[in-house]
Amino acid sequence: RDFNERCAQCSEVNWGLTDGGRFYCRSCHNVTERTREVVNTDFITNSRVQTISKGLKTQEKNDGGCEWYICEGFQLVLKKQVEALEALGVCPQMKDEILCNFWRCYLQKSKQAYCKRPAGETVKALSVCESSTDVDSDPERPSLLHLLSLSESEGDLQTDCSFASSVSKVSESTSVYSGSVDGSLYLMKNQKENLRMTMPMTLSFCYLALLWVREPITLSELLRFVIEGHIPYMNVFQHFPEKMKLCGLDLKIFCVESWPVYEEVFNKMHELAAFLDLPRFPDITESCFLHPDMLCMKYLMEANLPDELHNWTCRVVKKIGIGEVDFLTLMPGNKSTRKVKYDVLAAAVIIVVLKLLFLLDDHYEWLLSEFAEERNRNNTEGGRYFEFKKWYEVVKRSLDIKQKKLDEEKAKFLWRCEKPLFYSVKNKSKVLKRRQMVVNLQNQFGKLSGSVQRAEKPNPSSFQLSWSEENTDGSCFHGHSLKGILQEKCGLLRAMNPDYWLCTVKLCNEKLCGHLAHYKEVEFPQSYHFVLGLFSFLLRIQPSYIHDEVCMIEHRLFNKKLCKKLKYNTVLRK
């Protein structure tokens, strides 16, 4: 009653006290740093002033840990991931100005922080479980959620009192063991409407922030950096502070036992953008790295294809309008716009161009290759003609080596973390003893066998396959010419090949079956499958998803001819 300062948020004078002795506003639940000092006014011998400030003491547990919440753990994961992205060269503003604001918005929308307490069963549980203490026993007082802010200058978050105080009471009454306060309740609650946070969603948050600042990192690159260990994801909970005890049900939330999947992270990113009710993202223009023209140039270099193909990819992009700003720019919540996978789209454009020029039917491309090989023998001056057969042999040899190395690294990956994990208090001593025994045995066998220490991680690179024109073995095809397969007509270079085969005549309903078209290797030529496999390796995505984009581009490119053919077939049936 003696504290008459106005609230910094709502300007009301209506204060209560938290368990830790801090003042909080009853109107907006804003928690201040001020604590209440209680002085015993009845003077007796040996009396003294007492200060009620139990914030830290109440958090300490018997095992030396402190009370922590699931969203605190996810915030630490996001903090580690964005710091790793900054180390890779991402602009520093992404951490504090973009990702931090997205995270705050998520906490508010999911009613975990920055909001008034909603009515519900947790509030009832709070009023029943609340016991009287030596401070204000108002059942509406919030329990402070101590979050480590993404920004170093930020303080504690204002939390949803029902989530923070009642959850601790509910979780204490459950028999399921959990290191966090709300671990058991977090898994039990039906949070479909609140978009429950998961480990793959942390990558969705990162990609959403990267997309907002238009950083030159695609989703496939982000996931590749995760797999290579440059961005914390696998066993990231090892970086939690020592006082944040992780055990029991917490492991089901933070312990990851599979690699992140492109489709899952991509779909969650769009769900997250709609859930946060974000505005239209900054425009993807021709000068932006995510524009198809820019990405096609990158993937042509990585696939060791001739530079002249870039002119053809630009023509296809312009022809079907997939380079327009409105098509490429993300507009959350707009169901009429297509969800663009920038890297997959660029790879599909290159494949369509290869089909336009080389057909990829296991016959025509080899015939052109024989002509180019003969011309290269007779050509003593000038540039070399592009030979599809030789390109196939060179790239396949390199691709097989890289794929074998990748498979070996995945097979050798240690899924178990160095930090011992236990699911119950009873098994804790056994797990620690067993872990120590395993470490001792590994050290002894390592000394006996003289095993070589693991090599340091190589520096991350945007290119997985590199080709240099300085090589004398002719393994680089960037400067090779396409003149052998082109002819000039009406002032424009056109393909000598007049034919084209479609992957599918009619597209499927993507919402019903998840794909625009179905892909089976046995139903398509081997050349087409090899090119799909090449870009599947580069993007670390299933070939069927690239095949979907190829079908979409083909239907945009040959829309008029397809409409005529469908009408003609309909008339014949009648």
The 3-state secondary structure of 383-439, one letter per residue: CCECCHHHHHHHHHHHHHHHHHHHHHHHHHCCCCCCCCCCCCCCCHHHHHHHHHHHH
User: Confidence class of residue 57 from pLDDT cuts 50, 70 and 90?
Assistant: very low
pLDDT reading at 166 higher than 50: no
Nearby residues of 150 by Cβ (< 8 Å), 6 or more positions away: 75, 78, 79, 82, 95, 96, 99, 100, 103
Q: Is the pLDDT of residue 340 over 50?
A: yes
46: pLDDT strictly greater than 60: no
E-strand stretches of 257-335? none
- Using the structure block, give the residue that is written with the tokens 């690239």: 546
Mean pLDDT for 245-262 is 85
Identify residue 123 by its one-letter amino acid code. V
- pLDDT bin (cut points 50, 70, 90) of residue 345 is very high
Averaged pLDDT for residues 262-290? 95
Residue 507: how many CB atoms within 10 A of its CB? 16
User: Using CA atoms, how far apart are residues 263 and 158, in angstroms rounded to an integer?
Assistant: 34
Contact 532, 500 (CB under 8 A): no
Structure tokens at 180: 């966090």
The predicted model gives 136-159 an average pLDDT of 37
Answer yes or no: are the C-beta atoms of 184 and 178 closer than 8 Å: yes
Closest by CA to 189, choosing from 67, 59, 66, 70, is 70
Domain ranges of the chain: 1-36, 68-113+194-278, 292-404+482-558
Instruction: Report the pLDDT value the prediction gives residue 283, as an integer from 0 to 100.
Output: 95
pLDDT exceeds 80 at position 469: no
Task: Check residue 393 and give its pLDDT.
Answer: 95
Cα–Cα distance for residue pair 454/41, rounded to 1 Å = 68
**pLDDT at position 403, please?**
93
Q: Is the pLDDT of residue 547 over 90?
A: yes
358-409 residue pLDDT tens: 999 999 999 999 999 988 888 767 778 999 999 999 999 999 999 999 998 8
**How high is the pLDDT of residue 172?**
45
Pick 551 or 119 by higher pLDDT: 551
Looking at residue 75, its pLDDT comes to: 93
CB 141 within 8 A of CB 161: yes
**What is the share, in percent, of the chain residues with pLDDT greater than 90?**
40
pLDDT at 176: 52
Question: pLDDT digit string (tens) for 404-425?
Answer: 999 988 887 777 776 666 555 6
Residue 23 has pLDDT above 90, yes or no: no
Q: Which residues contact 369 (CB under 8 A, 6 or more apart)?
A: 387, 388, 389, 390
Give the number of C-alpha atoms closer than 13 A to the C-alpha of residue 312, restricted to the C-beta side: 22
Taking the whole predicted model, whether its pTM rises above 0.85 is answered as no
Q: How confident is the model at residue 342 (pLDDT cuts 50, 70, 90)?
A: very high
Question: How confident is the model over 108-134, as a mean pLDDT?
Answer: 51
Residue 272's pLDDT band, with cuts at 50, 70 and 90, is very high
Residue of 516 and 49 predicted with greater confidence: 516
For residue 26, pLDDT over 80 is answered with: no
Q: For residues 19 and 537, give the distance between their C-alpha atoms in angstroms, rounded to a whole number.
A: 55
Decide if pLDDT at 511 tops 70. Answer: no
pLDDT value at position 134?
35
Sequence-distant (6+) residues with CB within 8 A of 330 are 211, 273, 280, 281, 340
What would the mean pLDDT of 252-275 be, rounded to a whole number?
92
Number of Cβ atoms within 10 Å of the Cβ of 547:
25
* Spatial separation of the C-alpha atoms in residues 103 and 90, rounded to whole Å: 18
Neighbours of 92 (CB within 10 A): 9
Whole-number pLDDT of residue 450: 63
More confident residue, 378 or 347: 347
Contact criterion met (CB below 8 Å) for 358 and 482: no
Q: In what helix (H) or strand (E) does residue 483 lie, and over which residues does it extend?
A: none
Of 416, 418, 419, nearest to 179 (Cα)?
419
CB atoms within 10 A of CB 477: 22
